[in-house]
Amino acid sequence: MRRALESLFTRVLRSRLGVAITIAVLVFAVIGSARMVAGPADPTSGLSSLPSQPITTVNPEEGDDGVIASPVAQSPKTLPGELTPEQIASRFTTAWLGGPASTAEKWQASLRPLSTPELIDKLNGADPASVPPEKVIGPVTLRPRTEAFAEVFVPLVSGRLRLELVAPNGRWLVDAVDWERT
């Protein structure tokens, strides 16, 4: 018995596991004693008595004031005498689809006045023969995003051409071209 107690105090209680077990026993002893002294819990205190209706801090009749609310799209602004985004998109589409019949230099020259310098750089070295021969089958659709950014969709025979237009100085230019097959 004496060796068992000595072993308990010298080996087990001095190890990390022994210290952890001792602390856990003490914590449970303190919590148990506190509950016994405190008596039964009051059922009306704390969160045990839930409200019958949700607690609101704002007027539910007011509009959405959240951070994630989507902004209302603004109509694009065009300077007087400049072409609208729809007109730029139509002219760009005509030049874009007319590419296979011309040389690469002529094709890029026809796109240059309607495009941003960044788009012209991306199209540098592009082959106009890679543009599928398509035909416009309907009117362009404008999706305004801000006063200086809009998306335009042009329906074609086998898909649609999606153009992103920007107006950094009030003059609309095509900044990106994407092809979506249907």
Q: Are 83 and 118 in contact (CB under 8 A)?
A: no
The pLDDT, as a whole number, for residue 48 is 56
The residue written with tokens 């008596």 in the block is 39
Cα dist. 17→21, 23, 25, 30 in Å?
6, 10, 12, 20
Report whether pLDDT(47) > 60.
no
The pLDDT, as a whole number, for residue 166 is 93
The residue written with tokens 């240059």 in the block is 112
CA gap 178, 165 in Å, rounded: 12
CA gap 156, 135 in Å, rounded: 6
Report whether pLDDT(1) > 60.
yes
User: What pTM does this model have?
Assistant: 0.58
The pLDDT, as a whole number, for residue 25 is 92
As a whole number, the mean pLDDT across the chain is 81
Report whether pLDDT(182) > 60.
yes
